[in-house]
Amino acid sequence: MFIRSKKTIFQIILVVIIMLNLPLISTAAETVIINHQNWDPSNVDQTLFDAVRTKKMLFGHASIGGQIVEGLRTLASQNPSRYAMTFKEDPPALTSPALAFPYIGPNGNPFDKITRFKNKIESTDANGNVWGNVLDIAYFKFCYVDIGTNSDVNQIFTEYINSVKNLQAQYPNCQFIYFTVPLEGKLDYEYDMIQNKNRHQLNELIRNYVKQNGGYLYDLADLEAYDDSGVYQTFEYQGATYPKAWFVPNNYANDGWTTDDGAHLNSKGKEHLALAMWKLWVSVVDPVAVTGMKDNNEVPQTIEVSENYPNPFNPSTNFQISLQRPAHVAIDIYNILGKQVDHLDFEKLSSGTHVIKWNARALPSGVYFYEVKSDIDSDHLMAIKVGRMVLLK
């Protein structure tokens, strides 16, 4: 009887969480996802760019991080009144506003990178100040070789999210940024699904976490997959390292990943990534400034997805999806830890309204998240709607 009462109380709490839309954990005030969506910086007031230049920032990087830094330098040289920035590669301390970009390699071990970044933030600078207390904005990125085909995606995701989340709580005056993982070239669909499968999965977990819990995300994987005109590109690699679509021909470097090698200096994608970085910085200074941009999570007019019903449910719930034209639709289900527990795939749904039933008979009671994806407005699956639901048994 006592056990049954405890279960009843737990169920009531879950129902209240859903009905009142209460956060499951403490959430960030803003949710900003920087991806390939077009941004016209000419519409943003100059004072916001000036405000960014008052910040002390740290970017722990490797590989593509060098391209971003070179892109920022290029923008600064082209339009200094708009994009001027002080760059310091690995200063002993930041006594004035600047972007510090220490190298946190070597590549190949994601947990080592997480630890190196954490140690940097918690360490004391040359003036005796803890970096986390000095900085206004901080972030780091993985290299694509950090996430291989045999990587434990859920373990990496948990370690990464917890580390950034804990640093944010420890140093509340510094805004920490999430990054997705760059990909390893998409020669064709089969190659992409084999070589990049774990990277895709990890990126989806990171995107879903930020959508559900708030925060700032620089979606590097999305940014590198599109050209400057917003066209999704299939790109080959020169050797095993440099994507051909991103570098000037015959200028591939042989001296490794440094901010001054030919690969980064000649990257055709560097301004694209750098402009997105400025979009990120401006949004941190003033989140309202991004409201004029295209909503990253806006549901296209060609598809409508209703909230699942019933919710809470036992053991099944329904998703209603309306399509103006035939499309590929997929629904991924995740548990509270971010682990994918089910995948529904409909390669060619006809136009019209469809009710899709999901049965959770084999799963335990708890909170679950769903992500509906479709290719209706793109040539690949893109997230259309994310929501949460409660299974009560």
Tokens for 43? 């519409």
DSSP 124: B
Encode pLDDT of 133-192 as tens digits: 999 999 988 876 777 777 788 899 999 999 999 999 999 999 999 999 877 655 444 555
Top pLDDT among 231 and 262 is at 231
What is the rounded average pLDDT of the residues 113-138? 95
Return the HEC string of 88-121: ECCCCCCCCCEEECCECCCCCCHHHHHHHHHHHH
Whole-number pLDDT of residue 300: 41
The percent of residues above 70 in pLDDT, for the chain, comes to 71
* Best-predicted range by mean pLDDT (84-88, 102-106, 197-201, 289-293): 84-88
Mean of pLDDT values over 268-297? 72
Sign of the CA dihedral with 338 first, then 196, 279, and 385 last: negative
Tell me the two tokens of residue 337. Answer: 């830890």
- Residue 253: pLDDT over 60: no
Question: Residue 21 pLDDT > 50, yes or no?
Answer: no
* Ranges of CATH 2.60.40.2550 domains, the chain: 299-391
CATH number for the segment(s) 31-290:
3.40.50.1110
Distance linking the first and last C-alpha atoms of the chain? 17
Domain 299-391 has CATH 2.60.40.2550: yes
Residue 195 confidence (pLDDT): 65
Whole-number Å distance between alpha carbons of 372 and 318: 12
Task: Please report the pLDDT score of residue 141 as a whole number.
Answer: 84
Based on DSSP, count helices (H) and strands (E) in the chain, helices before strands.
12, 16
Tell which residue, 324, 316, 304, 298, has the closest CA to residue 360.
316
Q: Which residue has the higher pLDDT, 126 or 44?
A: 126
- Looking at residue 233, what is its pLDDT? 53
Which is it for strands 316-323 and 352-359: parallel, antiparallel or unpaired?
Answer: antiparallel
Average pLDDT, the chain: 76
Segments of 289-365 assigned E as strands: 303-305, 316-323, 327-335, 340-349, 352-359
Q: What's at 252, amino acid-wise? A: Y
This model's pTM is above 0.85: no
Q: Which pLDDT does position 335 carry in this prediction?
A: 87
Q: Residue 378's pLDDT is what? A: 65
What average pLDDT score do residues 99-103 get?
A: 89
The mean per-residue pLDDT over the stretch 291-317 comes to 68
Condensed to tens digits (0 to 9), the pLDDT of residues 38-97 reads 677 877 889 999 999 999 999 987 766 677 887 888 899 999 999 999 999 889 999 999
Domain with CATH 3.40.50.1110 in the chain: 31-290
- Token couple for 262: 């030919």
Q: What is the mean pLDDT of residues 359-384?
A: 83
- Using the predicted structure, report yes or no on whether residue 299 has a pLDDT greater than 50: no
User: Residue 119's pLDDT is what?
Assistant: 94
